[in-house]
Amino acid sequence: MAEMNNIASGANIHINTHRQILSVSSNGSNCDKMEHKAGGWFAEHCPIWPGQAHLLKVEKVLFEGKSKYQRMMVFQSSGYGKVFVLDGALQLTEKDECSYQEMMTHLPLCSIPSPNKVLLIGGGDGGILREISRHKSVDQIDICEIDTMLIDVYKQFFPDIAVGYDDPRVKLHVQDGTEFLQSVPNATYDAIIVDAFDPIRAEHELFDSPFFESAAKALRPGGVMCIQAESLWYQSLDIEQLVSRFRHVFGGSISYAWTVVPTYPSGVIGFLLCSTEGPYVDFKKPVNPMDPDQISGVAKQPLKFYNSEVHSAAFCLPTFAKRRN
């Protein structure tokens, strides 16, 4: 992270026109002043991806603020629509949020017949709620999100995403996710979607907490959980170890899938799909397919990314990722 800190601590970057090498040198100045000028660029700090950065041109900063839990920023980019940044990390852009939200939701919900009760932990933006809302079989959508300011900011600046809250089946629980899970009666949910943490890795401290055990108990037999799980290109990704840890906790089938999100580091993100002991779930085969042309629930547009072919393809891994297994 020395490189990114170099930049982040107020360096001058000099860009050489013809050879395109930027020389970075610290100028020692205090850079805490806000920069709202048109013509600015947003750069993401990404500790696990040193030596690279993705820049988005900022047309206008629309919001900056800090809740009890985190810092937030919304800006209008010139190429990706509005962008939401949480504690310095890019959360989503209007242009490419579709792949993450749709895959995160429909990979689990299309893998089981007629999901009925669904819990979302985190995902305060409302995009996954919007996607759950497309499922007619669902009659209860609980969301556990602790940061109400985040919800308000999304409702103000991203109405097409926060539209998920308009579904009357949605019930918001403003609470810590682990606490909420521990209060849930056993076998309550058909599906739990966890959109609350950094991408999960085998060494993640969450495995030492009661979080996943509580999630497994909150699922019915053969119920499913989906959580984001690191890029395929991340050198230390060990899918076999991840699968083995989750299998130990959930007891059913566990599969790794992935999708593309251009504005995430390396352009891809993985998902861990977990089922509890009970009716066998073959995540690769969508038993509950969706009509790609239908507009249902509170979503105002049909699916942009997900379809049954893309669902199954998401489980096909490059050889290097299989070999790490």
Residue positions annotated with a catalytic role: 195
Q: For 188, list phi and psi in degrees, rounded to 5.
A: -80, -45
3-state secondary structure of 258: strand
Q: From residue 248, how far is each of 123, 253, 280, 284 by CA, in Å?
A: 26, 10, 16, 20
- 91 binds a second copy per the rule CB under 8 A: no
For a second copy, the closer CB: 179 or 291: 291
Contact residue for a second copy among 1, 47, 64, 113 (CB under 8 A)? 64
User: Which of 230, 225, 232 has its CA nearest to residue 211?
Assistant: 225
For a second copy, the closer CB: 159 or 262: 262
- 14 binds a second copy per the rule CB under 8 A: yes
* Length of the chain (residues): 325
Specify burial of residue 48 (Cβ count, 10 A radius: 0-12, 13-18, 19+).
middle
- 278 binds a second copy per the rule CB under 8 A: no
Token pair belonging to 157: 């600046």
User: Which of 141, 140, 170 has its CA nearest to residue 155?
Assistant: 170
In the complex, the smallest distance separating the C-beta of residue 132 from a second copy, rounded to whole angstroms, is: 18
Stretch of 128-136, 155-163, 205-213, 311-319 lying at the interface with a second copy (CB under 8 A): 311-319
Specify burial of residue 168 (Cβ count, 10 A radius: 0-12, 13-18, 19+).
exposed
- Which positions from 237 through 276 interact with a second copy, judged by CB under 8 A? 260, 262, 266-268
For a second copy, the closer CB: 46 or 196: 46
- Which positions from 167 through 226 interact with a second copy, judged by CB under 8 A? none
Q: Torsion angle, CA of 148/69/76/301, rounded to 10 degrees?
A: -40
- 70 binds a second copy per the rule CB under 8 A: no
- 68 binds a second copy per the rule CB under 8 A: no
Contact residue for a second copy among 1, 9, 240, 325 (CB under 8 A)? 9
- 310 binds a second copy per the rule CB under 8 A: yes
For a second copy, the closer CB: 29 or 209: 29
Contact residue for a second copy among 207, 220, 318, 325 (CB under 8 A)? 318
For a second copy, the closer CB: 55 or 174: 55
Q: Please state, in angstroms and rounded to a whole number, the distance separating the CA atoms of residues 246 and 204.
A: 12
- 28 binds a second copy per the rule CB under 8 A: no
In the complex, the smallest distance separating the C-beta of residue 93 from a second copy, rounded to whole angstroms, is: 10
Look up residue 178 and give its DSSP letter.
H
For a second copy, the closer CB: 180 or 234: 234
| Amino acid symbol at 251 | G
Q: Please state, in angstroms and rounded to a whole number, the distance separating the CA atoms of residues 116 and 208.
A: 30
Give how far the C-alpha of residue 26 lies from the chain's centroid of Cα atoms, to the nearest Å.
34
Contact residue for a second copy among 1, 25, 136, 139 (CB under 8 A)? 25
- Which positions from 31 through 60 interact with a second copy, judged by CB under 8 A? 31-37, 39-45, 49-58
Contact residue for a second copy among 79, 113, 210, 279 (CB under 8 A)? 79
